[in-house]
Amino acid sequence: MKVLLTAINARYIHTCPAIYSLKAFADAHAKDSNVTIVTAEYTINDRYNDILDSILSCKADVIGFSTYIWNTDRVRRLLRDIRKVLGDQVRLWVGGPEPTYHPDPFLLEDQADLCMLGEGEETFAALLSRAGSPYDPGIRGIAYRRDGRIIQTTMAEPVDLNQIPFLYQDLSAYRHRIVYYESSRGCPFSCAYCLSGKERGIRFRNPALVEKELQFFLDQKVPQVKFIDRTFNANPDHALHIWRYLKDHDNGVTNFHFEIEAERITTEELDLLVSLRPGLIQMEIGVQSSNPVTLRSVHRSTDLGRICAVMAVLTQRQNINLHLDLIAGLPFEDLKSFSASFQRVYDMHPHQLQLGFLKLLKGTELYERREEYGLVCSEDAPYEVLKTRWLSYDEIALLHRVSDRVEEYVNSQGFRRSLPLALEWFPDAFSLFVSLAGYYQEMGYDLKPPSVFRRYEIFSDFLRKTALERGMASSPQVSLALETVRFDQYLHTHPSRRMSAEETFLFGERQKRFRFDYQMTSPVNGEASYTLLSTVSM
């Protein structure tokens, strides 16, 4: 029997560890030696017919799909078309978060034969061990059709992570792609918007196994390894052990990404983190909101003071890329409250500020309470919120435009010197980005996103317009801001340049000479960082 495990990723650089974990566990534990498991990965940007043809040409007896909010529409279409072509010659299985909490559409509308619910390693191995008659009510964690009705068994027990073999033996297929790694499963929180909040307890992979596997990545000089642990530092001893190992065995190349809770960082962890090589690790921190009522409503007990203190230490050292998250559309957060949350996070000076939008996932508490909170979302994946009791559709649309401008002007790291000068003209950062978003909409730039080079021209035009409206067009402050935009442009678009005290730049057909007084500061992730002291047009 030939089994094809299929993943459709959001981008080419992504990989899907789920299908490789299923294969590795089944190869080690399934009892039927006559089963051959192969894998295939695509992206949502690939041509649909190419994906369909590739899957059908595999001639598999069983086709399994790893299904998430970003690919569920594509998977469901494939299920229907494969069934039309092959009829009952093939078994169609789906797994992942989407069918786990809502299997009925896959089984009834899309004619899938079976849904794997929850963690799939042991369930998948059990199914393969019963290849002749896999739809056994004694198998945990499945839903299937029988005689026109759906039968759903009890969920499987959480798998022992130490029983899952290492997923990577040959990294040739992962060149120019992110490698994902898992050292724990589970989450200490019960966030009302997250499916992980339904899990109980945290399981850890044996430290000796983790060290051996991380050393494989280090020896291979993998560019980036992304830990998919929900809260990596849930156990301080676990986090310290791994961070110490990475420090002691640093190869000078590999970057490791972690999702952490900043308020849980201990003094010992902080001392270790500031001692790491710049670029060795990067960290993603979910703040979500600064509104205490909002945080309580989604079961977040966030200590913002502690987060600010930790961020102050880490940003001063400048050796770790820091990514902070906010979620728009949470209960009790109106536009004024969200602007305060935005400013609180912006003032922590992250390298990346991710402005995300609430997604009402089936199976979460917020989905169950959506009518109570007036949460209205799209019927189609990714089920993003359209309006709430506290935010109108127009306000959420505004926040989408603000999010786009933050991505271009903050997260690009291309305006690090000019943005602080522009901020002096506005009461706060949120007001600046609302105004910039309005300018984009007014000029029609939203419809056709500008190139990196064009963003600098647009930002200069925006500053001139703002200065003119405020009667300060001839102010030296405006001249300094405009010339600093040019300075940012040439440092960002010509990263190999090393600016001398005086340089001549060509603007259109004109040559213009500038004197830049700047100071090189500590490198960030291997890239030289500059602090502009002054700039003079000559």
Asked if CATH classification 2.40.37.10 holds for the domain at 166-391, the reply, yes or no, is: no
**171-179 contacts: CB < 8 A, separation 24 or more?**
171/220, 171/222, 174/15, 174/222, 176/13, 177/12, 177/13, 177/14, 177/15, 178/13, 178/14, 178/15, 178/224, 178/225, 178/226, 179/15, 179/217, 179/222, 179/224, 179/225, 179/226
**Per-domain residue ranges for the chain?**
2-152, 166-391, 440-537
Q: Identify the pLDDT of residue 199.
A: 67
Whether the Cβ atoms of residue 495 and residue 526 lie closer than 8 Å to each other: no
Whether the Cβ atoms of residue 135 and residue 92 lie closer than 8 Å to each other: no
520 or 400, greater pLDDT: 400
Q: If you average pLDDT over residues 438-462, what whole number do you get? A: 93
Residue 202 confidence class, pLDDT cut points 50, 70, 90: very high
Q: If you average pLDDT over residues 194-221, what whole number do you get? A: 90
Q: What is the pLDDT of residues 493-506, one digit of tens each?
A: 764 444 443 444 43
> Under 8 Å CB-to-CB from 196, ≥6 apart: which residues?
186, 187, 189, 230
Q: Is 6 exposed, middle or buried (0-12, 13-18, 19+ CB in 10 A)?
A: buried
Q: Identify the pLDDT of residue 538.
A: 46
Whose tokens are 């994906």? That residue is 51
Q: Identify the pLDDT of residue 494.
A: 61
Q: What is the pLDDT of residues 251-289, one digit of tens each?
A: 999 999 999 999 999 999 999 999 999 999 999 999 999
How do 321-328 and 281-288 pair as beta strands?
parallel
Q: Identify the pLDDT of residue 505.
A: 42
Residue 521 confidence class, pLDDT cut points 50, 70, 90: very low
Q: Identify the pLDDT of residue 497.
A: 44
The residue type of 172 is S
Q: Would you say residue 14 has pLDDT above 60?
A: yes
Asked if CATH classification 3.50.50.60 holds for the domain at 2-152, the reply, yes or no, is: no
290 or 524, greater pLDDT: 290
Q: Would you say residue 516 has pLDDT above 60?
A: no
Q: Identify the pLDDT of residue 483.
A: 86
Angle between helix axes 17-29 and 121-129 (nearest 10 degrees) is: 50
| 393/222 Cα distance (integer angstroms) | 43
Q: Is 310 exposed, middle or buried (0-12, 13-18, 19+ CB in 10 A)?
A: buried
Q: Would you say residue 20 has pLDDT above 70?
A: yes
| 450/358 Cα distance (integer angstroms) | 27
| 261/386 Cα distance (integer angstroms) | 28
Q: Would you say residue 535 has pLDDT above 50?
A: no
Q: Is 306 exposed, middle or buried (0-12, 13-18, 19+ CB in 10 A)?
A: middle
Q: Would you say residue 523 has pLDDT above 90?
A: no
Q: In the chain, what percentage of residues exceed pLDDT 70?
A: 90
Q: Identify the pLDDT of residue 534.
A: 47
3-class secondary-structure state, position 486:
helix
Q: What is the pLDDT of residues 298-332, one digit of tens each?
A: 999 889 999 999 999 999 998 999 999 999 999 99
3-class secondary-structure state, position 313:
helix
Lowest mean pLDDT segment, chosen from 215-229, 310-324, 382-396, 481-495: 481-495
| 55/82 Cα distance (integer angstroms) | 9
Q: What is the dihedral of CA 232, 233, 238, 239, to 10 degrees?
A: 90
Mean pLDDT computed over every residue of the chain: 89
Lowest mean pLDDT segment, chosen from 33-37, 360-364, 436-440: 33-37
Whose tokens are 């960030």? That residue is 524
| 11/316 Cα distance (integer angstroms) | 33
The half-sphere exposure of 489 on its side-chain side, counting CA atoms within 13 A, is 19
Q: Identify the pLDDT of residue 515.
A: 52
Q: What is the pLDDT of residues 113-169, one digit of tens each?
A: 999 999 999 999 999 987 656 677 789 999 998 888 899 999 988 999 999 999 998
How do 224-227 and 179-181 pair as beta strands?
parallel
Q: Identify the pLDDT of residue 490.
A: 80
The residue type of 435 is S
Q: Identify the pLDDT of residue 278.
A: 94
The residue type of 373 is Y
Residue 62 confidence class, pLDDT cut points 50, 70, 90: very high
Q: Identify the pLDDT of residue 197.
A: 64
Whether the Cβ atoms of residue 298 and residue 366 lie closer than 8 Å to each other: yes
Concatenating the DSSP letter of every residue in 399-459 gives: HHHHHHHHHHHTTT---TTHHHHHHTTSSSHHHHHHHHHHHHHHHTTTTSPPPHHHHHHHH
Q: Identify the pLDDT of residue 480.
A: 85
Name the maximum alpha-carbon separation found in the chain.
84
